[in-house]
Structure 1
Amino acid sequence: MAFDKNSTALSRRGFLTVAGASLAVASTGHFALSTAKAGTGFSLGVLHINDMHSRVDEISRFNTNCSPSDSDENSCFGGAARLATAIRQHRDAHATDGRPVLTLDAGDQSQGTLYYTTYGGRAEIQMMNAIGFDAMGIGNHEFNRGPENLARMIDEADFPVVSGNIRVAEGSALDGKITQHLVLDRNGEQIGILGVTTPDTVFLSSPGEDVSFQDEIEYLREAVAELQGRGVSKILVLSHVGFGRDQQIAAAVDGISAIIGGHSHTLMSNSEDGAVEYATLVASPSGRAVPIVQAFAFSRYMGDLTLEFGEDGAVIAASGDTVLLDAAFAPAEDIEELIAPLRAPIEEMTRRPVAEIAADIDGSRETCRAGECEMGNTVADAMLAEVSHQGVRIALTNGGGLRASMGAGTATLGDVLTVLPFQNTLYTLEVTGATLQAALEHGVNDVEEGAGRFPQVGGLRFRLDLSVAPDSGRVSDVEVMGAEGWEPLDPDMTYGLVTNNFMAGGGDGYSMLRAGGMNGYDTAIDLAEVLARYLSDNEPFAPVLDGRILQ
């Protein structure tokens, strides 16, 4: 049964007003919660996920499909069934301690695997219903198939879908569907939940003309004041705006108890090297400490946060960490039974025709890791076509990510997935010409050994001289396609680049993209989906070699 959107009447119960919890500033610059203020004796557990991106099945260490051999070796992670086990165990642990718990999702369940391609988000909602979520935020990818599809997802949810800064025109598909704010009773205490969705959704996804977005800080100031005026002082923000913006919100809006975040795929952990501290504390305008948490993405982790509240709703103690969903958590059998019939059509789908191919597309290791190759050109051009509306001019992908050739004739989705099996996603960012030059030079520095980092490109061409020593200027005459033709690469100019999430994160040694990339965004769109769409849009497809890498 779907959640009743009219069942969230706010409590009008009064509350005591006391000073907010004070902050002690450590020498490291991190904020520490002070325990000097009186507490209410109320403690709340929050189990949270974000950016699951349709990972209904378990995943590999690369956050992609888990192979049968990986599964046999117990080296898989996440998936809905394993997540269910983890949530149930941690709920029981909180209950043993006499602590109520909320189970929350900060958005972007949508997009990323064939489950979304096949079911449009309904499979993910079915898993969430079975696990028992209390609320879900709205991510930008929830709009990938337009507001009508999101409305159908909400109709099938047994929990409220919350975002208050989304404005919907009267009569549109989403009119009356989205829960603006929510108040839940736990042990007689009123917990307010506010949701915010990134306004960037207007160009990151497809919300349509009837949907607009209010500035998050402006909205939250109004909404927090409204809840406080109605006696609700413990207020959680279910946010899908990214870790950096969450920090700005915490510093700008008074009255927020904690922020449960998503969108930036931030790994927060107190035990993993290179991770952000869980929870990260930010001082509000009145000096209250606001914990911010996030749990990476792709169902690999779950967050488990415990909050101790003061009388004014301020958090006076926050503890917990992300939990790696590895083989320690056996997949729940009841969830596996739900998944099985959903999986069968997906396996059938891999046999579905995608496009007619006019000639063989060479994607062999020998060519794609040594120079220009037909599959490299095809994939790079497909990537550019997918984001052309964003003004991105250059595509860069690694030859090692291309795992097969494709024969002439009818190509199936299975063929496409054989070429691009890793579930890498399209990633956009901005880089200077100097950073791009460094990336190309790095990409060709081990051609002799057939290294997978070899750069396949679109919207760009260059000359490669293998007589030059590695990292000594093998790449020259780099040109970018401009409005009036080829233009020399300007080292000081900033260019829009589309690559894959693996390379953007420094994979294959492309550390310069990770360090020098600006305004990066993981679209969560699978490269295989991008290639399939490009082949279909251009059938009968004929591959080309056009001299973009000259030797």
Structure 2
Amino acid sequence: MRKKRWLLVVCIFLLSAIVVSCVKKQEIINSKDLSESFVLRIIHVNDTHSHLNPLALTINKQKKGNSKILVGGYAYIADYVQKEKKQDKNILFLHAGDAVQGTLYYTFFQGIADITSLNLLSLDAMVLGNHEFDKGPEVLWQKFVSRANFPILCANIYFKKPNKLQSKIKKYIIMQIGREKVAILGLTTPDTQNISSPGNNIGFKDVKKVASDFVQLFKKMGINKVIVLSHLGYKQDIKLAREVEDIDIIVGGHSHTPLGKLEELGLPSEGPYPTIVYNHNKPVLVVTAWKWGYVLGDLKVAFDRRGVILENSWQKDSRIIFLLGSKTGIQGLTARQKAFFVSSQKNKKVEQNILDYSKEVEKLKKKVVGKALKSLSNIRIPQTDKRNDLAPLVAKSMYLKTKYLEVDLALQNAGGVRTSLAKGPITVADIYEVLPFGNSLVLFELSGKELKTILEKAVDRALQGRTGPFPYLYGAKFKLRKANPLGRRIVDLVIYRNNRWEPLKLEEKYLLVTNSFVARGGDFYLDFKKIKAKEDLGFIDAEVFLEFVQERKLLRGVEEEFYPLEEL
């Protein structure tokens, strides 16, 4: 009996010790003593890709169908950020990279239109994205970095020889916000070496090692609040949050990932805003703001005196927002839908700056960039005596643009090409009439079996009257038997590899590039949504085709050997 009683006392004592320990730990991390906390707000964008003007956003008004609303635009972003900064001194405004490449503003001005606008936005810092290097380091310096009035960051870049970029690119900055110091560290995807044009003199180090080293440096400096401004991609940001201790917030870009409860608007979402990762029981907040300036991320958190983010302090005031110039566009939305939208005014200086460049863009649209040696038709479904000359050329432009990635084939849906090109001069405006949607290029790794299934279903849909899905390829070709049933219409499918045509192997892996509309399941390409091995490369289809036409000058159809199909 005494032994049992003694064991009971010991158990109660141990249990009490554990409970007290847990409570003390919880009190430290979940402290309610907000009087001693430090509150920080971060407004952020990423992957704006030269979209300086407001964009049309299609949202679902539920019972009233779809509706288009104009959102974003640098003039409205500037007004919102500057007004918020006047009211709240603890705000940072950050850009997570890829400010350029995607519209005619970059095609014609190579970054000047972007940087002169960004200089008016009250940015606190920006990290270099891979597309900043698309025209090479000299253009990046002359047209962008040398003109910036805000810090441009990248801690994992290195130079084999001295370069002018070194004088402006910082590894990190320390911001004094009230009585607190906050470190902001910039990290750029090491893939930049392979997916852009940084040149042989520039390389990128492993981000985990670099992040770990700088976090330790910040500790020695007595700084316990660390933000990583990242152009790595959402999944890589989550991985970094798990692997490197003492990072508090990762503000990311690169993957064009939509976060938050956007399903309310009929839009895709790939995770919560913010996404919470725990590293040694401490919350690390990962955020990103989709693409093109459609949205702003607006994150608000509180830190305890140790520099640890207070549990759930982000829940009340953190959100994804869409900026509106007028509230007329949101009539008919539910109250929950309207909560996503914030009214803003145009900043006059930014508006005028963009207007100056847009006038030049309108003139340059009339510029002749090539010549069609024959009429390049856009027949959606080929006939015995008629075929589509234009869609295979668009596919070829995508194929050549990504060939450095060892892509095997390109796929262009017939519906994505909106008009034919007449024989004669081709202007910039003509290119944008052919490809008006601003789709980006997306790279997939898929099996031969998956490819065959996707093509069979696309042909089946097209033959049922929905002609948009019909697939036009480059780097692959097949024979089409229209009379056969689903699954047996595509025969003799071959892929061009190692300078020869090889039969498709069902178990083999292939790299395919297509446009982002198809990649997200548009035109009934639903199987693409199931494939996880994919990457949005950020190149805009019209820009790619424009570059293709400018380089060749004279256009005719693709080489006969590469014409993608033969009707049987």
Q: TM-score range by the shorter chain?
A: 0.7 to 0.9
Cα 1:429/1:41, change in 2 over 3 Å: same
Indicate whether 1:101 and 2:91 are aligned.
yes
Cα distance in structure 1, aligned partners of 2:344 and 2:358: 19
C-alpha displacement at 1:397, in angstroms? 0.9
Residue-by-residue CA offset, 1:464-511 (whole Å, 9 max, x unaligned): 222234x44322221111225222211111101111111112211212
C-alpha displacement at 1:517, in angstroms? 4.7
Cα 1:377/1:269, change in 2 over 3 Å: same
C-alpha displacement at 1:179, in angstroms? 1.0
Question: What is residue 489 of structure 1 aligned with on the other side?
Answer: 504
Map of 1:107-506 to 2, 5 A cutoff? 107-152=97-142, 153-272=144-263, 274-275=268-269, 276-284=271-279, 286-316=280-310, 317-319=313-315, 320-326=318-324, 327-328=326-327, 329-334=343-348, 335-365=350-380, 367=382, 372-446=387-461, 447-469=463-485, 471-506=486-521
**Which structure has the larger Rg over C-alpha atoms?**
2
- TM-score, normalised with respect to structure 2: 0.84
C-alpha displacement at 1:536, in angstroms? 2.9
Map of 1:13-52 to 2, 5 A cutoff? 34-36=29-31, 40-52=36-48
Question: Does the CA contact (< 8 Å) of 1:394 and 1:460 recur in 2?
Answer: yes
Question: Does the CA contact (< 8 Å) of 1:60 and 1:76 recur in 2?
Answer: yes
C-alpha displacement at 1:381, in angstroms? 1.2
C-alpha displacement at 1:230, in angstroms? 0.8
**Please, which of 534, 540, 545 is the counterpart of residue 554 of structure 2?**
540
Question: Which stretch has the larger CA shift, 133-142 or 384-393?
Answer: 384-393
User: Match of 1:310, as an amino acid?
Assistant: D
Instruction: Show structure 1 runs of 5+ residues with no match.
Output: 1-18, 25-32, 64-72
Residue-by-residue CA offset, 1:246-267 (whole Å, 9 max, x unaligned): 1111111111111111111111
User: Match of 2:496, as an amino acid?
Assistant: M
Aligned length: 508
Question: Does the CA contact (< 8 Å) of 1:21 and 1:35 recur in 2?
Answer: no
User: Match of 1:129, as an amino acid?
Assistant: N
**Please, which of 530, 535, 538 is the counterpart of residue 524 of structure 1?**
538
Question: Does the CA contact (< 8 Å) of 1:224 and 1:255 recur in 2?
Answer: yes
Cα distance in structure 2, aligned partners of 1:384 and 1:22: 60
Instruction: State the secondary structure of the residue aligned to 1:385.
Output: helix
Residue-by-residue CA offset, 1:142-169 (whole Å, 9 max, x unaligned): 1111112222312211110111111123
Cα distance in structure 2, aligned partners of 1:23 and 1:157: 45
**Please, which of 40, 43, 50 is the counterpart of residue 54 of structure 1?**
50
Question: Does the CA contact (< 8 Å) of 2:79 and 2:347 recur in 1?
Answer: no
Cα 1:22/1:185, change in 2 over 3 Å: farther
Residue-by-residue CA offset, 1:364-398 (whole Å, 9 max, x unaligned): 45659x98510011111111111122211111011
Structure ranking higher on relative contact order (CA contacts 8 Å, 6+ apart):
1
Cα 1:107/1:484, change in 2 over 3 Å: closer
User: Match of 1:143, as an amino acid?
Assistant: F
Map of 1:74-85 to 2, 5 A cutoff? 75-85=69-79
C-alpha displacement at 1:21, in angstroms? 12
Question: Does the CA contact (< 8 Å) of 1:279 and 1:292 recur in 2?
Answer: yes
Indicate whether 1:515 and 2:506 are aligned.
no
Cα 1:280/1:23, change in 2 over 3 Å: farther
C-alpha displacement at 1:36, in angstroms? 3.9
Cα distance in structure 1, aligned partners of 2:556 and 2:496: 21
Question: Does the CA contact (< 8 Å) of 1:169 and 1:175 recur in 2?
Answer: no
Cα 1:356/1:62, change in 2 over 3 Å: farther
Instruction: Show structure 2 runs of 5+ residues with no match.
Output: 1-20, 60-66, 328-342
Cα distance in structure 2, aligned partners of 1:166 and 1:197: 8
Question: Does the CA contact (< 8 Å) of 1:465 and 1:475 recur in 2?
Answer: yes
C-alpha displacement at 1:521, in angstroms? 2.1
Cα 1:21/1:338, change in 2 over 3 Å: farther
User: Match of 1:380, as an amino acid?
Assistant: A
Instruction: State the secondary structure of the residue aligned to 1:60.
Output: strand
Question: Does the CA contact (< 8 Å) of 2:95 and 2:126 recur in 1?
Answer: yes
Indicate whether 1:86 and 2:101 are aligned.
no
Question: Which stretch has the larger CA shift, 382-391 or 370-379?
Answer: 370-379
User: Match of 2:243, as an amino acid?
Assistant: A
User: Match of 2:187, as an amino acid?
Assistant: V
Q: Percent identity?
A: 30
Cα distance in structure 2, aligned partners of 1:548 and 1:509: 20
Question: What is residue 27 of structure 1 aligned with on the other side?
Answer: none
Question: What is residue 337 of structure 2 aligned with on the other side?
Answer: none
Question: Does the CA contact (< 8 Å) of 1:372 and 1:549 recur in 2?
Answer: no
Cα distance in structure 1, aligned partners of 2:25 and 2:119: 39
Question: Does the CA contact (< 8 Å) of 1:435 and 1:513 recur in 2?
Answer: no
- TM-score, normalised with respect to structure 1: 0.87
Cα 1:168/1:22, change in 2 over 3 Å: farther
Indicate the RMSD between aligned Cα atoms, in angstroms. 2.5
Cα 1:480/1:366, change in 2 over 3 Å: closer
Cα distance in structure 2, aligned partners of 1:371 and 1:77: 42
User: Match of 1:35, as an amino acid?
Assistant: N
Residue-by-residue CA offset, 1:279-316 (whole Å, 9 max, x unaligned): 111122x3211011111011000000001001221111
C-alpha displacement at 1:278, in angstroms? 0.8
Cα distance in structure 2, aligned partners of 1:222 and 1:49: 26
